[in-house]
Amino acid sequence: MNSSEIRTKFLEFFRKRGHAVIPSAPLVPENDPTVLFNTAGMQPLVPYLLGKEHPAGKRLVDVQKCVRTGDIDDIGDNRHLSFFEMLGNWSLGDYFKKEAINWSYEFLTSKEEGLGLDPNRLYVTVFKGEEGIPRDTDAIAIWQDVFKKNGLSIDVAGEDEVMKPGVRIIPLGTKDNFWIAGTTGPCGGDTEIFYDTKPELGPVTGKFVDVVDSFRLIEIWNNVFMEFNKTAEGTYEKLAKPNVDTGMGLERTTAVINGKDHVFATDLFLPILNKISEFSTSDNDKAKRVVADHIRAAVFMIGDGVVPLNTDQGYVLRRLLRRAVRYADMLGMKHGSLFWIAETVIDKYSDFYTNLSTDRERIKQEIDKEEHKFRQTLKVGLKEFEKCATQDISAANAFSLFSSYGFPIDMTIELAKEKGIKVDVDGFKKEFEKHQELSRKGAEQKFKGGLADAGDPMIIRYHTATHLLHQALHDVLGEGVGQKGSNITTERLRFDFSYGSKMTDEQKKKVEDIINEKIAQKLPMNQVNLPREEAEKTGARHFFGEKYGDQISIYFVGNDLASAYSKEFCGGPHVKNTSELAGPEGKWKFKILKEEAVSQGVRRIKAVLE
Ligand code: SER
């Protein structure tokens, strides 16, 4: 079964069980300054997991694009990827453990509607109870019931976590079976489903962790039973209604059910790796995997509005692309071939992610440009590195490799590792921060990986201001303006849009004036939910080429939709009235701080309310 059949089957299985199919949110969280990318399916759904009503209803199913770049060094082994897709079904205060567990079992084992896996090869972990949170006896009983009905063994492992014949359920502690993204937010105990990749070895025996480390049992699906919200103070508040958050990694599942021992052997990667081989003069498999992974991630990031830069998401993209260039060199790939690898990635994925085909040329150009840019300094930079690599790399040398030769710090670290020397990373960071507009606090927040306080009043104000800005830019610059990206912190908004030239001072002033007028007019911000066709007819702004669900939430500024000043497809949150943008004393004004190019035909505005 190939990956696109798995996607389709999953969505269809849950659609038939009352779930609305919702599209993936873009990779870059819109209103969450604390994470650079969505790292799990639940992230874009946090407001709804905390109780907000979702326009599509209480049962959702999706395939969410995710990026995790924590262990970039591990990429190229069997399991680690920087970009991946997560299949998930969601109950927002609707069904709970019984339905979730039964459906998981049914989807995995049903030959007609699901993956048709052999039930005998499934094992599950559950939350054993720890740190004042009780053992999940419900999940244990439900699993036992399911297994018994299907003629399977139902024994539960003891405190020693040892598997022996008959044991199918393994209770584990918070480290393994309690799920939270970062440090705060919706969370709860979970049950993870594992697949036996080597049944020919006979019954699974031994300590659970060893069996997993030997890759005999591989986790394929996680069902989180979200019952709490962990606050910044570290307390667990009970949610008004518990949710179900499930996550099944598409790549890993595709590998496992096709009997492949790694994700790179699946249809998700084979065309990309074959293309890389065409351009290579070496058989270095790890290098091929690195290039495949990084270009795939880069294509999706650029498709969602990220461009290579030295900060934030742009930096992550830059570091992936530059690492890809170095590995392409190891493979003897011709200069400029990453462009063609990107083309293959787009071919492979654009059926499902249609924005990739509408944006095809821009994505390829962006990758090509970054490759050429880096090549101008790579060779000299490597020589320079060799010169300083006679001893550990000092902060000053690491910084000069970065600023003069474009070496991302991770690349310097990686090169140093290959030589068995160290880099003064802390020193580098200090040096780096001195040169950045980002405050140290800002940078730390971004790398902590916690969840946004989407309820922060400043962020909400900037979110509404972004809508006003989007419309005002249309008013002043014409209909050709399209949103390319948005990022909000408590200190400013940032908005990327397509436009061919630098804005004049007069145009900037006009945009500011329009927005300040809308603030002064104290206009209400309203929201409606409409079926997609009707929503499109309203003329509300949305991303061309982006997939939307069947029920659309529209936010509009004004008393009614027909006469609204701004209308956009959007999940919120927003202020209730534009007057709130003027701050508590009604004195703030909207001000554009900066207007600059981020790439060919894409401009960036940074603006504040002050
Ligand atoms: N949030 C859980 C995970 O990412 C399940 O979706 O594993």
**CATH number of the domain to which 180 belongs:** 3.30.930.10
Q: Residue 298 has which token pair?
A: 């880069």
How far is 565 from 468, CA to CA, in rounded Å?
8
The reply to whether ligand 1 has any atom less than 6 angstroms from the CB of 220 is no
Q: What is the pLDDT of residue 598?
A: 80
- Ligand 1 atom 5: residue of nearest CA: 247
The reply to whether ligand 1 has any atom less than 6 angstroms from the CB of 224 is yes
The reply to whether ligand 1 has any atom less than 6 angstroms from the CB of 169 is no
The reply to whether ligand 1 has any atom less than 6 angstroms from the CB of 176 is no
The reply to whether ligand 1 has any atom less than 6 angstroms from the CB of 246 is yes
Whether 359 and 254 map to the same domain: the answer is no
- Ligand 1 atom 6: residue of nearest CA: 247
The reply to whether ligand 1 has any atom less than 6 angstroms from the CB of 26 is no
Nearest atom in ligand 1 to 248's CA: 6
Whether 191 and 289 map to the same domain: the answer is no
Cα distances (Å, whole numbers) of residue 218 to 14, 222, 295, 408? 23, 12, 26, 34
Nearest atom in ligand 1 to 223's CA: 5
Whether 183 and 239 map to the same domain: the answer is yes
Whether 563 and 442 map to the same domain: the answer is no
d(CA 248, ligand 1 centre) in Å = 8
- Ligand 1 atom 4: residue of nearest CA: 40
d(CA 86, ligand 1 centre) in Å = 8
d(CA 179, ligand 1 centre) in Å = 7
The reply to whether ligand 1 has any atom less than 6 angstroms from the CB of 245 is yes
Secondary structure (DSSP) of 548-580: --SEEEEEEESSSTTT-SEEEE------SBGGG
The reply to whether ligand 1 has any atom less than 6 angstroms from the CB of 88 is yes
Secondary structure (DSSP) of 349-376: HTTT-HHHHHTHHHHHHHHHHHHHHHHH
Among 39, 86, 178, 180, the mutation site with the greatest number of ligand 1 atoms within 8 A of its Cβ is 86
Element at 602 (helix H, strand E): strand 602-609
Coil, helix or strand at residue 161: coil
Among 87, 224, 225, the mutation site with the greatest number of ligand 1 atoms within 8 A of its Cβ is 224
Whether 465 and 330 map to the same domain: the answer is no
Asked if residues 581 and 512 have their Cβ atoms less than 8 Å apart, the reply is: no
The reply to whether ligand 1 has any atom less than 6 angstroms from the CB of 554 is no
Q: What is the pLDDT of residue 71?
A: 67
Q: What is the pLDDT of residue 188?
A: 96
Strands (E), 231-338: 236-249
Whether 381 and 519 map to the same domain: the answer is no
Whether 305 and 337 map to the same domain: the answer is yes
d(CA 148, ligand 1 centre) in Å = 27
Which of 448, 470, 485 is the last residue before a domain boundary?
448
Q: What is the pLDDT of residue 447?
A: 34
Q: What is the pLDDT of residue 545?
A: 52
d(CA 89, ligand 1 centre) in Å = 10
Domain count, the chain: 3
Cα distances (Å, whole numbers) of residue 112 to 10, 12, 60, 115, 176? 12, 12, 22, 8, 32
d(CA 356, ligand 1 centre) in Å = 26
Q: Which residues of the chain have pLDDT under 50?
A: 438-453
Q: What is the pLDDT of residue 136?
A: 97
Cα distances (Å, whole numbers) of residue 281 to 83, 234, 285, 382? 26, 54, 12, 21
Which of 448, 466, 500 is the last residue before a domain boundary?
448
Whether 158 and 85 map to the same domain: the answer is yes
d(CA 398, ligand 1 centre) in Å = 36
d(CA 195, ligand 1 centre) in Å = 17
Whether 222 and 297 map to the same domain: the answer is no
Q: Which domain holds residue 518?
A: 457-609
Sign of CA dihedral 272, 275, 277, 280: negative
For residue 599, give the amino acid letter.
S
d(CA 222, ligand 1 centre) in Å = 6
Which of 208, 238, 265 is the last residue before a domain boundary?
265
Q: What is the pLDDT of residue 132?
A: 86
Asked if residues 9 and 115 have their Cβ atoms less than 8 Å apart, the reply is: yes
Whether 23 and 111 map to the same domain: the answer is yes
Whether 261 and 300 map to the same domain: the answer is no
Quickly list H helices, 449-591: 457-477, 505-520, 532-537
Q: Residue 537 belongs to a domain with what CATH number?
A: 3.30.980.10
d(CA 506, ligand 1 centre) in Å = 49
pTM: 0.77
d(CA 345, ligand 1 centre) in Å = 26
- Ligand 1 atom 3: residue of nearest CA: 247
Phi/psi for 38 (5° steps) reads -65, 125
How far is 335 from 184, CA to CA, in rounded Å?
45
- Ligand 1 atom 2: residue of nearest CA: 247
Whether 15 and 96 map to the same domain: the answer is yes
Nearest atom in ligand 1 to 181's CA: 1
